[in-house]
């Protein structure tokens, strides 16, 4: 299985070589990267259709003479370099390749304009190779190495040009790196229980305290990468400040795929969950959904709004995995793919809008639909999809999750008893998502066109093509969900799925498409030329900027409601942010300790002798 080596090493080595090319030929670098990504896409397809299994010693050291340098260097590496190619990793590898190609196409024209973003394509390709490595690795040590490199490239794909952006970059890397170290502890604990680093040979029970600790420490890694509560706080900060291509690439698609992939491995292969851990997963899942969507509702910055949604959607996936049933896991994986599709699309369209208008807040925008029709329609599809409107893909996976929750309620268990709560909160989260995307689409694209955007043009082909592709996939996955997508992509992973409700997505989708076509026909036949267009009538006054009511204003009601106002104020002071909480605790401890370091020599000598005395008293 040489492809297993090539798919990891080719992008990494190509990325390192790209460091040599100067920044002036960014376009060339982009095209070269696209070619490399295309080749890895081919490898990914080859792996998708290949035989599954554990591949040890893919690195064959016997090719080298025993006294050669390469042999000495690589001797024993086959111990670590073992790959697990099963239906789960095949699926993730395929989609990583897909998203990297789509986003590279978008980046070729957009990254050129980012002045201070150095070596974007090098880090892009290294990220790609390491993402494949992390998904395919069977050895936990090798896995955590690839996983850690991804945190580093994530940091390099955002540029620190001023206070806020460099603070966001710092927060991102600190949280990610902290989770990596915690994962090392988990790996050590797994070794203590199991005596092996091989993921495929593992089946750890969570009845002992040490097993639970191992699960939780590894879970931290997965949650931080995917951006789940309470380790999510880097996602909105990153999304607000990073270039669109970076946000679409890592937090929106690859990090979700990887984080959820690892969650799937944890829940499906590595550990046998007990009922309390199921409860923990369910609680974290619904808290993530609701808390993040509530924050998204009141944002004014549209990129930050998308960042909070990137968190909120993860909650659905966690709920899916928390269910632990075949239906639940399939629904979680399906939602992961869907989320990556529409969320990277949304980041790309947000990036396009920012690029064209230079505005960051919803208040300053409006009425762009006429100027940018393709972007508008694509965004509209994504927005409907993330809000769970049939027949789009977001509905399909959410519907599976709802069914899974109802099904889950039939079993005995603590978490099962509370099924109605999970269901209600998941549905509520979906409704709130719709509410905040009404604000997003209407704030940017609807309403009166503003004077300053009169001359706006649609983005170029490289800009809208990836969005259109993603939108088409969103529709396609939704319409053929029950007939093609779920049986084709997910049933090989989880086994046959039984639905409790009748669900024929093609039928529903077909009916909706027919009704749209019929509606359009009626619209055209009913001689629409007779419609008249007039300016907005405001009691005889001329409509101007001062009559424009920006869409975020409507959401102030929620922010000022009795209970919510307290919560929002606390959130504003960052009371719910692990990063800020820890930071203030650590800094105050440091300040207390530093009083002892007062520069007086006598004190220093006293410590020395106190230390000596204590040692003598203890040991003698």
Partner 1 sequence: MSELVPLFVVIPLASAFLIPVIGRFVPWFQKSLTLLVLLFLTILSLSYLFTNTGETLAYKVGGWENVEHVPIAIFLVLDGLSGFIVLIINMLGFLSAFYAVSYINKYTAENNFYALLCLMIAGMNGVALTGDLFNLYVFLEIAVIASYALVAFGIERNQLEASFKYQVLGGIASILILFGVGMIYWLTKTLNFADASTILAQHAGSPTVTFIQVMLVVGFGLKAAMIPFHAWLPDAHSSAPSPISAMLSGVLIKAIGIYALIRLFFNVFTISSEIAIVITTIGALSMVIGGLLALRQWDVKRLFAFSSISQVGYVAMAIGIGMIVIARGGSQTVASLAIAGGLFHLINHAVFKGLLFLNAGAIEYRINTRNLKEMGNLAQFMPWTASTSFGASMSVAGIPPFAGFFSKLLIIIAAIKGGFFFLAALAVLVSVLTISMYMKYQRYAFFNKAHSEDRMKIKDVPFPMAFSMVIMGVLCLIMSLLIFPGVREIILDPAVDVLMKSSAYATTIIGM
Alpha helices in 195-301, H assignment, sequence order: 209-226, 234-241, 244-247, 255-264, 275-297
| List of residues contacting partner 1 (CB under 8 A) | 69, 71-77, 116, 141, 144-146, 148-149, 151-152, 160-163, 165-167, 169-170, 173-174, 177-178, 180-182, 184-185, 187-189, 191-192, 582-583, 586-587, 589-591, 593-594, 597, 599, 601, 603-605, 607-608, 610-612, 615-616, 618-620
Supply the minimum distance, in Å, between the C-beta of residue 277 and partner 1: 20
Count CA atoms within 13 Å of residue 483 on its CB side.
11
Q: What is the DSSP letter of 536?
A: P
**CA 119 to chain centroid:** 23
Task: Considering the complex, state which of residue 128 and residue 494 has its C-beta at the smaller distance from partner 1.
Answer: 128
Q: Which is nearer to partner 1, 66 or 530 (CB)?
A: 66
Least distance (Å) from partner 1 to the CB of residue 3?
Answer: 23
Query: Which of 34, 182 has the CB closer to partner 1?
Result: 182
Closest approach of partner 1 to the CB of residue 134, in Å: 11
Q: How far is the CB of 169 from partner 1 (least distance, A)?
A: 7
CB of 546 to partner 1, least distance (A): 35
Distance in Å, CB of 596 to partner 1, minimum: 9
Supply the angle between the helices 419-445 and 302-323 in degrees, to the nearest 10.
Answer: 160
CA angle at residue 301 from 299 to 304, to 5 degrees?
80
Q: Would you state the structure tokens that stand for residue 211, as one six-digit string?
A: 């097993």
Q: CA-to-CA distance for 298 and 556, rounded, in angstroms?
A: 7
Closer to partner 1 by Cβ: residue 181 or 513: 181
144 and 131 Cβ atoms separated by less than 8 Å:
no
Q: CB neighbours of 151 closer than 8 A, spacing ≥ 6?
A: 173, 176, 177, 180
To which residue do tokens 């008249």 refer? 532
Report the residue number, 211 or 552, with the smaller CB distance to partner 1: 211
Helix 209-226 to helix 275-297 angle (10° resolution) is: 20
Minimum distance, C-beta of residue 221 to partner 1, in the bound complex (Å): 12
Q: What share of the chain is helix, strand, coil (3-state, %, to 5)?
A: 75, 5, 25
- Selection from 336, 385, 342, 344 nearest residue 493 by Cα: 336
State which residue, 34 or 177, has the beta carbon closest to partner 1.
177
Residue 455 beta carbon to partner 1: minimum distance, rounded to whole angstroms = 32
- Asked if 238 contacts 247 with a C-beta cutoff of 8 angstroms, the reply is yes
Judged by phi (left if over 0) then psi (alpha if -120 to 50, else beta), residue 358 lies in left
Instruction: Look up residue 77 and give its two tokens.
Output: 């590496």
DSSP 3-state of 139: strand
Contact present, 222 and 181 (Cβ < 8 Å): no
Residue 271 CB, nearest approach to partner 1 (Å)? 17
Minimum gap (Å) between residue 556 Cβ and partner 1: 33
Decide whether 276 or 604 has the Cβ nearer to partner 1: 604
443 CB contacts (<8 Å, ≥6 apart)?
302, 362, 363, 365, 366, 550, 551, 552
Which 3 state secondary structure label does DSSP give 20? coil
Q: Closer CB to partner 1, residue 581 or residue 586?
A: 586
Peptide bond preceding 391 in cis form (omega within 30 of 0): yes
User: Tokens 């080595």, residue?
Assistant: 13
Query: CB of 104: closest distance to partner 1 in angstroms?
Result: 23
Q: How far is the CB of 312 from partner 1 (least distance, A)?
A: 26
DSSP state of 268: I
Nearer to partner 1, 536 or 603 (CB): 603
CB 187 to partner 1: min, Å: 7
**Distance between CA 230 and CA 228 in Å, rounded?**
6
Total residues belonging to the chain = 620
Q: Do strands 204-205 and 271-272 pair parallel, antiparallel, or not at all (unpaired)?
A: parallel
C-beta closer to partner 1: residue 56 or 583? 583
For the CB of residue 175, give the shortest distance to partner 1 in the complex, in Å.
Answer: 9
Q: Which is nearer to partner 1, 71 or 576 (CB)?
A: 71
Toward partner 1, which CB reaches closer, 8 or 279?
A: 8
Q: Which residue has the tokens 């206070």?
A: 163
Is the Cβ–Cβ distance between 422 and 544 less than 8 Å?
A: no
Closer residue to partner 1, CB minimum distance, 230 or 413: 230
**Which residue, among 223, 402, 395, 234, has the nearest Cα to 307 in the 3D structure?**
234
CB-nearer residue toward partner 1: 74 or 558: 74
**Quick one: 223 or 321, whose CB is closer to partner 1?**
223
Min dist. Cβ of residue 117 to partner 1 (A): 12
Residue 523: Cβ within 10 Å count: 11
Distance CA 357, CA 250 (A): 24
């Amino acid at each position: 299985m040489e492809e297993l080596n090539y798919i990891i090493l080719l992008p990494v080595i190509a990325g390192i070589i790209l460091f040599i090319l100067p920044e002036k030929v960014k376009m060339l670098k982009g095209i070269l990267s696209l070619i490399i990504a295309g080749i890895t896409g081919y490898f990914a397809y080859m792996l998708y259709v290949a035989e599954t299994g554990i591949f040890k010693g893919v690195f064959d050291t016997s090719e080298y003479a025993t006294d050669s340098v390469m042999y000495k260097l690589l001797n024993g590496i086959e111990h670590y370099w073992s790959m697990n190619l099963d239906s789960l990793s095949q699926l993730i590898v395929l989609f990583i390749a897909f998203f990297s190609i789509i986003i590279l196409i978008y980046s070729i024209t957009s990254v050129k304009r980012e002045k201070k973003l150095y070596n974007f394509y090098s880090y892009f390709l290294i990220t790609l190779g390491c993402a494949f490595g992390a998904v395919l690795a069977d050895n936990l040590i090798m896995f955590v190495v690839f996983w850690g490199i991804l945190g580093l490239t994530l940091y390099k794909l955002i540029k620190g040009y001023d206070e806020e952006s460099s603070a966001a970059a710092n927060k991102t890397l600190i949280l990610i790196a902290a989770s990596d170290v915690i994962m090392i502890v988990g790996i050590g604990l797994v070794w203590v229980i199991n005596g092996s680093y091989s993921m495929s040979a593992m089946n750890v029970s969570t009845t002992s305290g040490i097993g639970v600790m191992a699960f939780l420490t590894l879970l931290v890694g997965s949650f931080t990468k995917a951006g789940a509560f309470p380790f999510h706080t880097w996602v909105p900060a990153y999304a607000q400040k990073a270039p669109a291509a970076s946000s679409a690439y890592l937090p929106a698609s690859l990090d979700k795929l990887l984080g959820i992939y690892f969650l799937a491995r944890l829940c499906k292969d590595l550990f046998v969950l007990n009922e309390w851990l199921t409860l923990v997963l369910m609680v974290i899942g619904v808290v993530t959904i609701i808390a993040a969507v509530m924050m998204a509702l009141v944002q004014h910055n549209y990129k930050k709004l998308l960042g909070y949604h990137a968190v909120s959607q993860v909650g659905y996936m966690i709920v899916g995995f928390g269910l632990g049933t075949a239906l639940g896991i399939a629904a979680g994986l399906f939602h992961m793919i869907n989320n990556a599709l529409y969320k990277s699309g949304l980041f790309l369209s947000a990036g396009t809008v920012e690029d064209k208008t230079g505005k960051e807040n919803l208040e300053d925008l409006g009425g762009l639909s006429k100027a940018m029709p393709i972007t508008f329609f694509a965004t509209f599809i994504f927005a409907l999809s993330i809000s769970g409107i049939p027949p789009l893909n977001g509905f399909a996976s959410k519907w599976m999750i709802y069914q899974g929750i109802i099904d889950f309620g039939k079993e005995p268990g603590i978490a099962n008893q509370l099924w109605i709560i999970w269901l209600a909160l998941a549905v509520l989260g979906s409704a709130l998502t719709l509410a905040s995307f009404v604000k997003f689409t209407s704030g940017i694209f609807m309403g009166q066109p503003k004077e300053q955007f009169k001359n706006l043009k649609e983005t170029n082909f490289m800009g809208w093509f990836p969005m259109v592709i993603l939108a088409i996939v969103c529709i396609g996955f939704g319409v053929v969900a029950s007939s093609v997508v779920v049986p084709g992509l997910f049933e090989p992973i989880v086994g046959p799925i039984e639905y409790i409700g009748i669900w024929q997505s093609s039928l529903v989708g077909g009916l909706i498409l027919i009704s749209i076509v019929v509606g359009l026909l009626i619209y055209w036949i009913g001689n629409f030329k007779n419609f008249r267009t007039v300016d907005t009538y405001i009691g005889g006054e001329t409509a101007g900027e001062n009559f424009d009511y920006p869409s975020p204003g409507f959401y102030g009601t929620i922010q000022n409601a009795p209970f919510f106002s307290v919560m929002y104020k606390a959130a504003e002071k960052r009371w719910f942010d692990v990063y800020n909480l820890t930071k203030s605790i650590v800094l105050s401890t440091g300040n207390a300790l530093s009083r002892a370091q007062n520069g007086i020599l006598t004190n220093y000598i006293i410590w020395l002798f106190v230390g000596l005395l204590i040692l003598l008293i203890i040991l003698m």
